[in-house]
Structure 1
C-alpha cells in the first residue's frame, strides 16, 4: 500500500511554478499544466491578483527577487521560466539576473527548468536551416545575452539542475499581445483593414502557434526523467516559405468575416525615423535582420522523442488568434 510520504512525493512531481504567467507562453503553459492535473503556482508583481484564480495559485513576488522565487518554488518539480522584459527593453539589466534567480530556486527545490527559446542565439553563419547544434555566433546584443543565459543553464547541470529548452519561430496565438503578429502584421483590438508584411517576397520565415508550443513543452515535461540534463529542441512550426503565406492566411480569415483587407509592406522607413525617440522601435530595428534572410527550423530531434510535433493547421491557428486578440468576432 502506498504510504503518505510516497503520496506526497508523487504529488510534488506534479507541482509547477510558472514565471511570466501573464505572458503569452507562460499563461498558455500554465493552463495546460493545470488541465493535465498539475498544481500550478504563478508569481505576480500585482498583489491584487494574488489569489486562487482559474485553478492557479497566484503568489505576490517578482522574478528579480531571489528570495521570492526560491520560496515560491519550494515543493515544485518544474519551474517554467517564461519571463522577459517587455518591449525588448532593459535586457542587459534584467535577463541574466532573472535566470540566475531561477537557477538558484531550481537547485534548492530539485526542479527542472523549462525555457521558451528563441532564434536570437544564431547569426548569419547558421542560417537558413537551424539545428539544435548549429553554431551560436549572434550579431546582436540580445542574441549574445540569450547565448549567455543558456550557457549558465548548461553550467548549472553540475549542481544537479536540469533544463529543457524549446526554441521556436515568431510566436502567435490568442493570448499573445506582444508579438510581430499582433503588433506588426495587424493591430490587436482593431478591425483588420490591411495586413503588413515585414519581409521581402521570397524570404521564408518561421512562425510558432503558442498553444502548440505549450503542448510540446508539456509533453517534454512529462518525459523529463528520460532526457539529458541539458536538453534543447527545435520546433518546425509553420514555415512561411515565401514570406507572404501568413499574411494571405490572415486576409483569408478576415474576408470570411466580411472585410477585404489589403496587403501592404511594413513601414520600416517610418520605424527607422522614429528610433531616436522610441526605444522599443530602436530595439525592433536591431532584429530586422531576421526578416531579411530565410530562417527555418528543423524538428528532427523533437520528432525523435515525441514521435511528432503538436501542430494546428494554419487557418485554424490564425482564426483563433485573430479572435483572441480582438480583430474579428
Structure 2
C-alpha cells in the first residue's frame, strides 16, 4: 500500500461531528490516529468547542448540499453519517436527502458509510428480540424513514459504496445530546433530586452507552475489508430487564455523591398538552410504544465478528453521564 493509500485508508469525513454519536466517534477516531474532516455551518472555533475535540479539519458546508458533501469526502475512505436536524425540525424532509448526498459521495470515493441505527425500523412482527435479519415492517412514520435509510444504503453497496449499520438502544453518555436520559429521566445542570421513569411496570428497555457504541463502530471500521459490503450489527448494550435498573443505577450513583433522589413516574399524561408547541415531545409520543413493549437486541453477529462487545459497567457509565450533564460535583471525571 502506497503512502497516499495509507493516508486515505485512515481518513474519515464525519457528518454531525458536533452531535452526540458523531462527536464521540470523532474523538475516538482522532485518538486512534485517524485524520478527521467535518462539515460545519458554524465558525470553526465554535464547532470545535461543541465537538469537544482538537485536530479536526473543519470544512464550511452543509450536509443538505450534495456538492459540499462531495468536496469534503474527496480522498476519504470512510463517511460517518451521524447528522440529524436539531430538535427533530423537518426531520422527514431532511434526513433522506442528506443520506442521498452521503451515498453519492461514498459511491464516487468507493468509501464505507457508517450509520448509527435504531430499533425504530422494526414492528411488532419482529418483537420481542431483534436479529439483524428480522423483518422491517415499522408502524410509525419515523420507523418508516429509518427503514428507508437502511434500504438506500443496501442498494448503494450494489453501486460501489460499502456500509456498516450499528443498531443500538436509547443513547446515554457524557455528551449524548438530546436523549431520553437527559430529557426524560433527569434534569441537566442540576443535582439529581427526582428521577423520572417512563417505562410501564415490568417492561424491559434497551439502552446504549455512547462511548461503547463509538468503540464498536471503530472496531468494525478497522475490520471493514473483511466485512460484507452491507454489514448490519445489533448491540446488546445495557438491557434493563424490568424498567427499573437504569433509574436505580442513577439513584445509587447520585447517593454516592450525597444526593438523595426520589423515583417518580414520567408524566405521560401531560405530553399531549405540550406536543403542539414542542416538536420534540411529539416525536417522543410517537415512540412511546417502546416504553410499553419490551424490545431487545441480539448481538450474536457482533460478538461473532469482534469476539466481544465493548461494554462499560452500568454504574460507571451512569456516573460519567451524570457528570457530563452537570448533575454531579465538578471534580467527577467525564469520559
- TM-score class, shorter: over 0.9
CA distance in 2: counterparts of 1:323 and 1:281, whole angstroms: 25
CA deviation map 1:205-224 (0-9, x unaligned): 01000000000000000000
Q: Which stretch shows the higher mean deviation, 85-94 or 167-176? A: 85-94
TM-score, normalisation: structure 1: 0.96
- Does the 8 Å CA contact 1:177/1:188 hold for their aligned counterparts? no
Structure 2 counterpart of 1:31: 27
TM-score, normalisation: structure 2: 0.95
Q: Give the C-alpha shift of residue 259 in structure 1.
A: 1.2
CA distance in 2: counterparts of 1:30 and 1:273, whole angstroms: 38
CA deviation map 1:172-229 (0-9, x unaligned): 0001120000110011112111000001121000100000000000000000000000
1:124 aligns with 2:124: yes
Structure 1 counterpart of 2:237: 237
CA distance in 1: counterparts of 2:258 and 2:217, whole angstroms: 36
Aligned residue runs from structure 1 range 246-265, under 5 A: 246-265=246-265
Q: Give the C-alpha shift of residue 270 in structure 1.
A: 0.8
CA distance in 1: counterparts of 2:142 and 2:88, whole angstroms: 9
Q: Give the C-alpha shift of residue 51 in structure 1.
A: 8.5
- Does the 8 Å CA contact 2:28/2:218 hold for their aligned counterparts? yes
Q: Which of residues 37, 46, 49 is equivalent to 2:42?
A: 46
Structure 2 counterpart of 1:14: 10
Q: Give the C-alpha shift of residue 48 in structure 1.
A: 4.3
Q: Which stretch shows the higher mean deviation, 84-93 or 252-261? A: 84-93
Question: How many pairs does the alignment contain?
Answer: 325
CA distance in 1: counterparts of 2:29 and 2:8, whole angstroms: 14
Structure 1 counterpart of 2:332: none
Q: Which stretch shows the higher mean deviation, 148-157 or 270-279? A: 270-279
Structure 2 counterpart of 1:186: 186
Aligned residue runs from structure 1 range 58-137, under 5 A: 58-137=58-137
Q: Gapped runs of 5+ residues in structure 1?
A: none
CA distance in 2: counterparts of 1:208 and 1:292, whole angstroms: 18
CA distance in 2: counterparts of 1:49 and 1:139, whole angstroms: 42
